[in-house]
Structure 1
Amino acid sequence: MTSIVDSAAHFRKRALEVGLTAPHVDSLVNSGVASLGAFAYSFGQPGQAINDNEFSDWVRANIDVGANIGCVSSAKRLLFEAQTILLASLKELVTSPDASSSRKLPVAEREAKMQALKQKLSGVLVSGTMDPGHTLLDSVTQMYEANQLKYVAPEKCVSRTHELTHAKQPTKVVELEAERLVVKEQDSVPDAQAGSGLLLLEALKRRGLALVFADCITHSTHEKYLQQLFAHLHRDPPPGYSKCTLQQLVAPDKAVWTKLIEDCVKPRRNEAGVLELDTALAHALESYEVSFLLLPMAKQKELPKRPEKRQTAPKEAASGKGKGSRFQPYGKGKGSAGKKGKSMEIRVPKDIRDAGGVAFLPTGEAICFNYNLNGCDQAADGASCSRGLHVCAKCFKAHGLAKHGN
């Protein structure tokens, strides 16, 4: 599918470009010669010289009875190109077998197959955001050529519009090919956005169209798969559980393709002409490994809110001069009648502050710093001493800060 040697669309396009007419090409196709690979062996053998007189007689017998010298020369040129391309393809297959699996789809072949896809799916709009990008089509057709499934993530399922609007300058890379270094241009396309439900659905639909394009699956089967997958978003969860999220759809989708690969499902038709993905895709979605990822998640329990800022202890006005309670910071002013002392901020020890501890409970009760740092023997765990309550300065439970998390 990805080779110009076996592409019928590329053969017709190239034959018209070298000077043959449409009736001439139709004569070859009706005779069973519909690709460059077949045309290379239609007369003689690749690598051998072409006899002019014998080839002229062959053209008049198989292409056009009244063929002139222009028709014969055009056919001879096409035959030479077909034999040269075939020999180069065979050499590449032997010296660089991996290169054939990464070859891009010929332009004429892609256009012909896309037009056939649009005619086949007459009720589906294959344009705009629903038009699969060339990189996506190449990725799926390479998978078909290798006859080995691979997972195509939603962000890699770009549209043709995305490719045109986000195209970057091609970068030059050096590759080892046939025991020599070759400089090639590599196009890079940014990943598509799939953060919302609509964008994710469109990305997976484009992947389905690419699979139908490569004849790996039927369109109705893939649409049914998407409906079953996205139906989990509308399921009502049990009490205490959350509804299924988009992240929970991406993980099962990846698990489905992982299971298909583990089960050795092939993208091509089997010997009976049946597409294995048509039946294996639904079975993989219903498997235990995938269903487990679609279960509702338990809601997180709400933790008691703690004050983010440091609390200040209110200081009552003193009746006269004096230091007041030692637990509170020193106030400012004489504290005479009609004036009140100014409240100041409690200084939390650095060790408690670095650990995320505070000075007061949410109810305003003070916490003993000695109990949290070095221990305090003036009261039991959870009780109160002259400095404050014997509770953790971080979680407010009956233990010191040193035992928090143990």
Structure 2
Amino acid sequence: MANYSESKSVLQSRLIAVGFAESDVTAILGEVGNLRRLAFISSFTPGQADEAPLMQVLSELLQRDPSISDKANWRAVFNEAYAIVTAEMKQRIEKVDAEPSVRPLSQPERAERYERQVKKLTGVSLRGPLEPADALVDAAVASYEANELKYIPWEKCVSKEDELRGEKKKDIKFTVEEASGKLRVEHKSPDLVADTSSEIMVQQALTRRALAMDQANLIDFVVMDQWTQRLMKARLQAPAESFAKPTWKQLESADRQLFTELREKTRTESFLPPSLPGCSLVILVFTIGLQGIVPRIPLSALPERKE
């Protein structure tokens, strides 16, 4: 599931919303599958006078003569699908903004990704502090849709709980439009920052990032979690004599370097579920060779502690 128009759950929700019966939804969903296919299911396009090709497809899908309400529902969902797909294609081709805004997932998409992950990761609790925020999942999905792996900083790995608390603290901003002179009221949510003040907080933040990337079909959770565990091991294990533990700044630099290597590995490859091609190998190499990336600091090189 790459984007909104290719989601099966989105089409299902729209068919139900326009008024199709449950049996008709099942029949249409099994053959069509998503909004992208629906938009090009016949030679008819919005604006043409003859919609016979479009209605012929509906008759074949339902295996009966559609009623007046069926035709009205079919027109509504078809025009919506055509508008969405053409808008996505236009945005992809033109790319007006150098840094396009992240598209929030629809509720059917979000629910489908979450339910699929719950069934897949039976031994992992996805509620509470480990559940990734909607904005975090949206950022991972945006990376998938752009076909370009982007680094997600630790401080951006906010939990769903913190995101819900932040929604209650929206800032109200009043602006006046120059052209019309009308007063506009804007509600802006504060920029949330994940708590990374301790080892357990960092581990939870990285786990949320791994879950978000798994939902976006970027990297399998099990593979990404191996990297999280290796970072925590490097931080928590007892250092050798005359050596100090790596600092959080060093570990974060290693984390960024991993994404740099993954980006180089996937430069000419498309993102294919369930994970990026070659990611397992790159993460394995980084996991084994972490000591070479994050060198330990000899105690003699550290400044003396003042009493």
Is TM-score (shorter-chain normalized) higher than 0.5? yes
Q: What is the match of residue 70 of structure 2? A: 71
Q: What is the alpha-carbon distance in structure 2 between the residues aligned to residue 3 and residue 219 of structure 1?
A: 20
Task: Specify whether residues 85 and 222 from structure 1 end up closer, same or farther in structure 2 by C-alpha distance, changes over 3 A only.
Answer: closer
Q: CA deviation at 1:224?
A: 1.8
Q: What is the match of residue 42 of structure 1? A: 41
Deviations 1:213-239 (A, max 9, x none): 111222221222222222123433333
Counterpart secondary structure, 2:217: coil
Q: What is the match of residue 21 of structure 1? A: 21
Counterpart secondary structure, 2:82: helix
Q: Matched residue pairs, number? A: 294
Counterpart secondary structure, 1:77: helix
Q: What is the match of residue 390 of structure 1? A: none
Deviations 1:298-317 (A, max 9, x none): 25364787xxxxxxxxxxxx
Q: CA deviation at 1:97?
A: 4.7
Please state if 1:159 is matched with 2:131.
Answer: no
Task: Specify whether residues 94 and 148 from structure 1 end up closer, same or farther in structure 2 by C-alpha distance, changes over 3 A only.
Answer: closer
Q: CA deviation at 1:245?
A: 4.0
Q: What is the alpha-carbon distance in structure 2 between the residues aligned to residue 136 and residue 302 of structure 1?
A: 41
Please state if 1:261 is matched with 2:263.
Answer: yes
Q: What is the match of residue 135 of structure 1? A: 135
**Paired letter, 2:239:** P
Q: CA deviation at 1:109?
A: 0.8
Deviations 1:222-262 (A, max 9, x none): 22222222212343333333234444432322232233334
1:243–1:297: 8 Å Cα contact kept in structure 2? no
1:149–1:267: 8 Å Cα contact kept in structure 2? no
Q: What is the alpha-carbon distance in structure 2 between the residues aligned to residue 230 and residue 240 of structure 1?
A: 21
Q: What is the alpha-carbon distance in structure 2 between the residues aligned to residue 170 and residue 45 of structure 1?
A: 47
Task: Specify whether residues 128 and 304 from structure 1 end up closer, same or farther in structure 2 by C-alpha distance, changes over 3 A only.
Answer: closer
Q: What is the alpha-carbon distance in structure 2 between the residues aligned to residue 88 and residue 241 of structure 1?
A: 57
1:136–1:158: 8 Å Cα contact kept in structure 2? yes
TM-score, normalisation: structure 1: 0.64
Counterpart secondary structure, 2:239: coil
Q: What is the match of residue 213 of structure 1? A: 215
Please state if 1:60 is matched with 2:59.
Answer: yes
Q: What is the match of residue 196 of structure 1? A: 198
Task: Specify whether residues 303 and 146 from structure 1 end up closer, same or farther in structure 2 by C-alpha distance, changes over 3 A only.
Answer: closer
Q: CA deviation at 1:148?
A: 1.5
Q: What is the alpha-carbon distance in structure 1 between the residues aligned to residue 217 and residue 82 of structure 2?
A: 29
Task: Specify whether residues 84 and 218 from structure 1 end up closer, same or farther in structure 2 by C-alpha distance, changes over 3 A only.
Answer: closer
Q: CA deviation at 1:68?
A: 2.0
User: Whose radius of gyration is greater, 1 or 2?
Assistant: 1
Please state if 1:148 is matched with 2:151.
Answer: no
Deviations 1:348-400 (A, max 9, x none): xxxxxxxxxxxxxxxxxxxxxxxxxxxxxxxxxxxxxxxxxxxxxxxxxxxxx
Please state if 1:91 is matched with 2:87.
Answer: no
Between the aligned residues of both structures, percent identity stands at 23
Please state if 1:112 is matched with 2:115.
Answer: no
Task: Specify whether residues 28 and 50 from structure 1 end up closer, same or farther in structure 2 by C-alpha distance, changes over 3 A only.
Answer: farther
2:218–2:276: 8 Å Cα contact kept in structure 1? no
Task: Specify whether residues 108 and 297 from structure 1 end up closer, same or farther in structure 2 by C-alpha distance, changes over 3 A only.
Answer: farther
Q: What is the match of residue 275 of structure 1? A: 277
Structure 2 regions of 5+ residues with no counterpart? Answer: 176-183
Q: What is the alpha-carbon distance in structure 2 between the residues aligned to residue 90 and residue 235 of structure 1?
A: 50
Q: What is the alpha-carbon distance in structure 1 between the residues aligned to residue 103 and residue 174 of structure 2?
A: 16
1:46–1:84: 8 Å Cα contact kept in structure 2? no
Counterpart secondary structure, 1:5: helix
Deviations 1:24-71 (A, max 9, x none): 12212322x111121122133334425355544442222241532212
Please state if 1:102 is matched with 2:102.
Answer: yes
Deviations 1:170-190 (A, max 9, x none): 67899xxxxxxxx99764431
Q: What is the match of residue 293 of structure 1? A: 294
Task: Specify whether residues 74 and 269 from structure 1 end up closer, same or farther in structure 2 by C-alpha distance, changes over 3 A only.
Answer: closer
User: Which protein has the bigger helix share?
Assistant: 2
Deviations 1:89-110 (A, max 9, x none): 3333344454767322222111
Counterpart secondary structure, 1:123: coil
Q: CA deviation at 1:136?
A: 0.5
Structure 1 regions of 5+ residues with no counterpart? Answer: 175-182, 306-406
2:18–2:73: 8 Å Cα contact kept in structure 1? yes
1:211–1:217: 8 Å Cα contact kept in structure 2? yes
**Paired letter, 2:123:** G
Q: CA deviation at 1:135?
A: 0.9
TM-score, normalisation: structure 2: 0.82
The farther-off stretch of 290-299 and 148-157 is 290-299
1:179-190 maps to which residues of 2 (within 5 A)? 187-190=189-192
**Paired letter, 2:128:** G
